[in-house]
Amino acid sequence: MRIALSADHAGFEMKDQLADWLRADGHEVIDLGTNGPESVDYPRFGAFLADVLADGRADRGITVCGSGIGVAIAANRNPACRCAQVSEPLSASLARHHNDANAIALGARLIGIEMAKACVTAFLTSDFLGGRHQRRVDQLANPSEREPA
């Protein structure tokens, strides 16, 4: 699987550890940076991830910042990206099962590397269930299909 990874300065160490682990497992990794502790703006790295998913260069994406929240918000600005901020494996599985998430966001200041690996494993091994969930995913991509309140 082609997996894109991005991170800000708070998440680059976790990103690098995940990249090495994913490569060792046979995945093709696209590293979008950042690659050091110097302060950077997390919205850029969430957007980089979404762009790579949108143009088909990657099948799935993982982005990391201090909490996982900022990069998830940034990635989700691109309608082709469905990024879920997760902190444990059940949320990562449900993001795939129900939301057809193509990316997850992790908080390097909130979880350790072993929990991050468990989240990534759940994310990569779970399938979208389709059915009633497809209608809802379609509404995410096409707001005009939602009924007004």
State the total domains in the chain: 1
pLDDT for the residue numbered 148: 66
- Whether 27 is a known active-site residue: answer no
pLDDT for the residue numbered 9: 97
Torsion of CA 107, 142, 93, 133, to 10 degrees: 160
pLDDT for the residue numbered 134: 76
pLDDT for the residue numbered 30: 98
| Continuous segment of H or E residues that includes residue 63 | strand 60-65
- Whether 98 is a known active-site residue: answer yes
Joined tokens for residue 35:
């690659």
CATH of the domain at 131: 3.40.1400.10
Per the structure, the complete domain to which residue 49 belongs is given by 2-145
pLDDT for the residue numbered 96: 96
pLDDT for the residue numbered 22: 98
pLDDT by residue for the chain (149 residues), tens digit each? 999 999 999 999 999 999 999 999 999 999 999 999 999 999 999 999 999 999 999 999 999 999 999 999 999 999 999 999 999 999 999 999 999 999 999 999 999 999 999 999 999 999 987 777 878 777 877 766 666 66
pLDDT for the residue numbered 145: 66
**Residue pair 95/86 in contact by the 8 Å Cβ criterion:** yes
pLDDT for the residue numbered 1: 96
**Which of the following is catalytic: 65, 81, 83, 119?**
65
**Which of the following is catalytic: 81, 83, 97, 98?**
98
**Residue pair 70/43 in contact by the 8 Å Cβ criterion:** yes
Q: Tokens 């909490």, residue?
A: 67
Which pTM value belongs to this model? 0.92
pLDDT for the residue numbered 146: 64
